A and B are shown apart, each in its own frame.
Chain A
Amino acid sequence: MRFGDRFPPEGAMKETREQYRLSAADQRRLDGVFERIKRDAGTFIGYPCNALFDYSPLYRFLSFPVNNVGDPNVPSNFHLNTHDIEREVLDVFRGLTHAAADSFWGYITSGGTEGNMYGIFLGRELYPEGMVYYSEDTHYSVNKILRCLHVRNIMIKSCPDGRIDLEDLRETIRIHRDVPPIIFANVGTTMKGAVDDLEGIRQILKDLAIQQHYIHADAALSGMILPFVDDPQPWDFQAGVDSLSISGHKMIGSPLPCGVAVAKRSNVERIARSIEYVGTLDTTILGSRSAIAPLFLWYAIRTVGMEGFRRRIRHCFEVADYAVDRLKQVGRRAWRHRNSVTVVFDRPSVGIINKWQLAVQYDTAHLITMPHVTGNLIDRLVADVVADSHEPTGEHVSS
């Protein structure tokens, strides 16, 4: 097969795959990396990335230098894009997050962090003197975002179950009542899967008569769980948030990290900037953006379907309950929040942590029952925990 048999066109510089063949050593190196990933995928239980997908029908798109630079809603001079597909994906998320059609805007991001950065960016643009409040259970990347955006911030205590401590939040906001609060709320914390009490947060703002405020929700994993349960905690636009970040590579699953940033359109329009270079009105953080990630998300949404996701979530909860039961049976403390697939349990030995790629914090670890995690996998983990129960716990592995 010719290298790039569709692109570049006839008459372009002729290059063949043979011309650029890897050396034997490089080929071995590549094969080694593949084998390592294949092996470790068999014990991938500690991080919230679904490994259950098959995007092979989309591989043909990898032959083109596609790029979704710019706002997906604005025509661009760069035509090798999938903006139309991206818009369809966003429309699905508009429905999932209960946003009104005429007041919604979003784009597909490089992952949850970019979505969170976008949310805080919007909040800061609206309220340049604002103060960001976030809980100590917030993902560590938020500290980097706060630093990058140079926005003032105060970390608030968490309750033992991982939710933001509303009493601490209330007292801290009360002192800075003249400063618009930018609340960074967690809809599923990284370690415990806790959902911050958005109704409680809004009540605080109401009680303190704070008119100017912004609420961003990090719904990296739970943003694709709560739409599919019967009794979701308040979490989306209906609950009064101004923007949300949801990961694509987590519950949906993707070999490329990706996500969606969704926000109220009126807020986004304030930060729009015209860029002559690509002839587009660019409201996104990045310039070049993946055109493949929207295809993956669209494909998953179209093939799995809403009912399919509902079934998956039910399966994940069943496996999570099974994991809690099994761990308790062998004398470990284990629990999970309602509507969460994150099972928190006593920190095991370093050997277990490394083998099963568990995230740990202080004396706890978690496993996450993503769709690829089965009861059999849980049984194997528990067997390892039992066999290794007399080993001392290590201190050098962080989440």
Chain B
Amino acid sequence: MKQITIISEDRPGVLAEVSEAMAAAGVNIETLDAETIGGAGVLRLTVDRYDVALRALSKTPFHAISEDAIVVQLEDRPGELARIMRRFKEANINLRSVRIIRRGDGTSIVAVDTPRTDEAKELLKDVMVS
């Protein structure tokens, strides 16, 4: 089952808002867990209608990230991103995109997209959020 990761502000009500958005789109949430990382709320959910859920979430203020991207948590300090990039370089894995989703409380949450997702997950397992 494919997973969606949602990055939001860490505040009360996010869970309810995501649930409401899913219900309004006729999407059933199969699994859901949440945690706080560096001042951001991170929700991981699986649903019965993946594409419909992503479309519905795109209309909300939340960053919804599909399973095609790997979400990692890095320390927010100079060179940290480069350190991760070096792993890809050494493993000869190309990157499609690297995007900072959120920064705060000394932490960056970054989405990484590569054509070799499984190998990349292995490379990033120590910093992977989803």
Task: Tally the A-B contacts, defined by beta carbons under 8 Å.
Answer: 56
Q: How far is the CA of A154 from the CA of B108 in the complex (A)?
A: 14
A172, CB-defined interface residue at 8 Å: yes
- Interface flags for A170-194 (1: CB within 8 Å of B; 0: not) read 0110111000000000000000000
Contact of B81 among A131, A152, A157 (CB under 8 A): A157
- Interface flags for B46-61 (1: CB within 8 Å of A; 0: not) read 0000000000000001
Q: Helix, strand, loop or mixed for chain B's interface?
A: mixed
A281, CB-defined interface residue at 8 Å: no
Interface-central residue, A146, A156, A157, by most chain B CB under 10 Å = A157
Interface-central residue, A154, A176, A398, by most chain B CB under 10 Å = A154
Q: Is the CB of A156 within 8 A of B61?
A: no
Q: Is the CB of A155 within 8 A of B86?
A: no
A311 to chain B, nearest CB (A): 40
Contact of A175 among B9, B85, B103 (CB under 8 A): B85
Q: How far is the CA of A167 from the CA of B86 in the complex (A)?
A: 16
B35 to chain A, nearest CB (A): 19
B81 proximity list for chain A (CB < 8 A): 154, 156-157, 168, 171-172
B78 proximity list for chain A (CB < 8 A): 165, 167-168, 171
Interface-central residue, A146, A152, A174, A397, by most chain B CB under 10 Å = A152
A356 to chain B, nearest CB (A): 19
A155 to chain B, nearest CB (A): 5
A136, CB-defined interface residue at 8 Å: yes
Q: Is the CB of B61 within 8 A of A136?
A: no
Q: Is the CB of A153 within 8 A of B97?
A: yes
A156 proximity list for chain B (CB < 8 A): 81
Q: Is the CB of A395 within 8 A of B9?
A: yes
A131 proximity list for chain B (CB < 8 A): 95
Interfacial residues of chain A within 374-399, with CB under 8 A of chain B in the complex: 395-398
A16, CB-defined interface residue at 8 Å: no
Contact of A396 among B61, B82, B86, B95 (CB under 8 A): B61
Q: How far is the CA of A131 from the CA of B97 in the complex (A)?
A: 9
Q: How far is the CA of A331 from the CA of B22 in the complex (A)?
A: 40
Q: Is the CB of A398 within 8 A of B61?
A: yes
Interface residues of B (CB under 8 A from A): 9, 11, 61, 76, 78-79, 81-82, 85-86, 89, 94-100, 103, 108, 110
Interface residues of A (CB under 8 A from B): 131, 136, 143, 146, 152-157, 165, 167-168, 171-172, 174-176, 395-398
* 6 chain-A/chain-B pairs, Cβ below 8 angstroms: A152-B94, A152-B96, A154-B81, A175-B82, A176-B89, A397-B61
